[in-house]
């Protein structure tokens, strides 16, 4: 089947267009600390505004668990959208209700308003399909057509993602179209050598993608907190480093499978260890067989890949034609443990081919470390959705758009 795109909706001038964006940005207080997802929504929103559509933006932010939580309000996002679009953006402090209905009815052609956080209603994420549909029907009453452009949530069966596009003429926005185009390049005859770099805290979060990609990649590089489960599977002592002991046998299976398939599964040869989870903690670099024999002993806590590993990872990335990276190499929020993540990011900017940052913490990391989005081939807006795509899982929010 073919994904329905904006062109399938015909002229949108004067029509009320509900756009499901993913504006789930990190906030510190009421200040946005990374507006990447807001900027990613601009192309679709500008297209609609320029067509003379009456644009109604809906999104979630954080996990308010079905309650009205001011700290998760979309008001700061609406303000940032106004700045980036260079025009006034309205904000309605509810998702459905009389105030929302009145605000949408008052829109003129080319105007835009943002409704309050979808997840202030428990119905948005309810396990009860009837409850979700009822909520979706109330949202649908506000619009004439629906545009799905929140790629970060297409792997969820939620009211605004799954039920709502079934209630109105619907199509994917340009962000989703672009995400799919890039991800299909990673799964359909990618240019080789093809390298996947995986990091982040838990190996259990990446089990499916490892299993699905092992038959498809040339190199699999493992860093982040998950690396210590791999090291433990090889028999190394890891001190107090993050360890998922219940996954050791499964990881051993991946190591054996990689060897059998001739996949270059690369683990660190050195790590940065510290006395505590603190940016100012005592720290040192050790070989992987020296974690507990270091001066820090069994209290050693691994917080980054080491310099030799960083150089090795960067070399493999630079020699690749296709690279997908998901998950930081260390605790990048602390300067002392950001070196591995920075080394991979720097190499990715120089790839002669397609280099993809797989959303989530990886996207936040590259921006926090001073890289700009245009230095990479693509920065995904959906970490979890990207991984589930690469695992070959069904994505409900795309299925309802004809994909």
Residue pair 112/53 in contact by the 8 Å Cβ criterion: no
Catalytic residue among 353, 377, 384, 402: 384
The answer to whether 23 is a known ligand-binding residue is yes
The rounded distance, in Å, linking the Cα atoms of 388 and 254 is 19
Is 138 a known ligand-binding residue? no
Contact 4, 43 (CB under 8 A): no
Q: Are 396 and 156 in contact (CB under 8 A)?
A: yes
333 annotated to a ligand binding site? yes
* Count of other CB atoms within 10 angstroms of residue 332: 25
367 is in an annotated binding site: no
- Judge whether 383 is annotated as a binding position: no
330 is catalytic: no
Instruction: Check the annotation: does 219 bind a ligand.
Output: no
Cβ atoms of 172 and 148 closer than 8 Å: yes
368: Cβ–Cβ under 8 A, 6 or more apart, which residues?
A: 34, 332, 333
- 161: which 2 tokens? 């993602």
Residue 394 marked as a ligand binder: no
Taking every pair of Cα atoms in the chain, the longest distance, rounded to a whole number of angstroms, is 70
Q: Judging by DSSP bridges, how do beta strands 270-274 and 354-357 pair with one another?
A: unpaired
62 is in an annotated binding site: yes
Say which of 15, 37, 240, 342 is annotated catalytic: 37
Say if CB 51 and CB 100 are below 8 A apart. no
The answer to whether residue 127 is catalytic is no
CA distance 207 to 249: 12
**148 with 401: CB under 8 angstroms?**
yes
Q: Three-class SS of residue 19? A: strand
| Token digits of residue 357 | 């940052």
Contact 300, 239 (CB under 8 A): yes
User: Binding site annotation covers 60?
Assistant: yes
CA angle 236, 273, 323 (to 5 degrees): 80
Q: Is 22 among the annotated ligand-binding positions?
A: yes
- Indicate if 384 belongs to the active site: yes
360 counts as catalytic: yes
User: Is 206 part of any known ligand binding site?
Assistant: yes
Instruction: State the DSSP string of 266-316.
Output: E--SEEEEESSSSTTS-EEEEEGGGSTTSTTGGG-EEEEE-HHHHHHHHHH
* Active-site hit among 199, 360, 382, 397: 360
Catalytic residue among 39, 202, 216, 250: 202
Residue 378 known to bind ligand: no
CA-wise closest residue to 229 among 258, 212, 207 = 207
Neighbours of 280 (CB within 10 A): 10
The answer to whether 362 is a known ligand-binding residue is yes
Residues that constitute the known binding site for (2R)-3-phosphoglycerate: 37, 119, 156
Residues with catalytic roles: 37, 202, 360, 384
Residues that constitute the known binding site for substrate: 22-24, 37, 60-63, 119, 156
Residues that constitute the known binding site for ATP: 206, 302, 333, 359-362
Residues that constitute the known binding site: 22-24, 37, 60-63, 119, 156, 206, 302, 333, 359-362
């Amino acid at each position: 089947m073919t994904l329905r795109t904006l062109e399938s909706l015909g002229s949108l001038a004067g029509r009320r267009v509900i756009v499901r964006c993913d504006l789930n940005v990190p906030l510190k207080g009421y200040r946005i600390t990374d507006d990447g997802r807001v900027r990613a929504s601009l192309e679709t929103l500008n297209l609609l505004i320029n067509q003379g559509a009456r644009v109604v933006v809906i999104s979630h932010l954080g996990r308010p668990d079905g309650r009205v939580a001011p700290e998760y309000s979309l008001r700061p996002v609406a303000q940032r959208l106004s700045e980036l679009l260079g025009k006034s953006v309205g904000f309605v402090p509810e998702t459905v209700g009389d105030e929302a209905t009145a605000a949408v009815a008052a829109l003129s052609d080319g105007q835009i308003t943002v409704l309050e956080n979808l997840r202030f209603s428990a119905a948005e994420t309810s396990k009860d399909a009837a409850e979700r549909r009822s909520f979706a029907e109330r949202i649908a009453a506000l619009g004439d057509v629906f545009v799905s452009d929140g790629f970060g949530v297409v792997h969820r069966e939620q009211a605004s993602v799954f039920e709502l596009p079934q209630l109105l003429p619907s199509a994917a926005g340009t962000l989703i179209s672009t995400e799919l185009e890039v991800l299909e390049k990673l799964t359909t005859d990618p240019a080789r050598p093809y390298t996947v770099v995986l990091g982040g805290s838990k190996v259990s979060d990446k089990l499916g993608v490892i299993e699905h990609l092992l038959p498809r990649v040339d190199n699999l590089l493992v860093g982040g907190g998950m690396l210590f489960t791999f090291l433990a599977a090889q028999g190394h002592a890891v001190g107090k480093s993050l360890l998922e002991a219940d996954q050791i046998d499964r990881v051993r299976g991946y190591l054996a499978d990689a060897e059998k398939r001739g996949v270059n599964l690369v683990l660190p040869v050195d790590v940065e260890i510290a006395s505590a989870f603190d940016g100012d903690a005592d720290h040192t670099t050790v070989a992987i067989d020296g974690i507990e024999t270091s001066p820090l002993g069994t209290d050693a806590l691994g917080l980054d890949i080491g310099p030799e590993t960083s150089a090795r990872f960067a070399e493999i990335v630079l020699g690749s034609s296709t690279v997908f990276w998901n998950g930081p190499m260390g605790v990048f929020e602390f300067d002392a443990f950001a070196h591995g993540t920075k080394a991979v990011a720097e190499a990715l900017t120089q790839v002669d081919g397609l280099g993809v940052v797989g959303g989530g913490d990886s996207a936040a990391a590259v921006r926090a470390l001073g890289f700009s989005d245009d230095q990479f081939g693509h920065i995904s807006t959906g970490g979890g959705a990207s991984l589930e795509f690469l695992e070959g899982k069904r994505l409900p929010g795309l299925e309802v758009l004809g994909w």
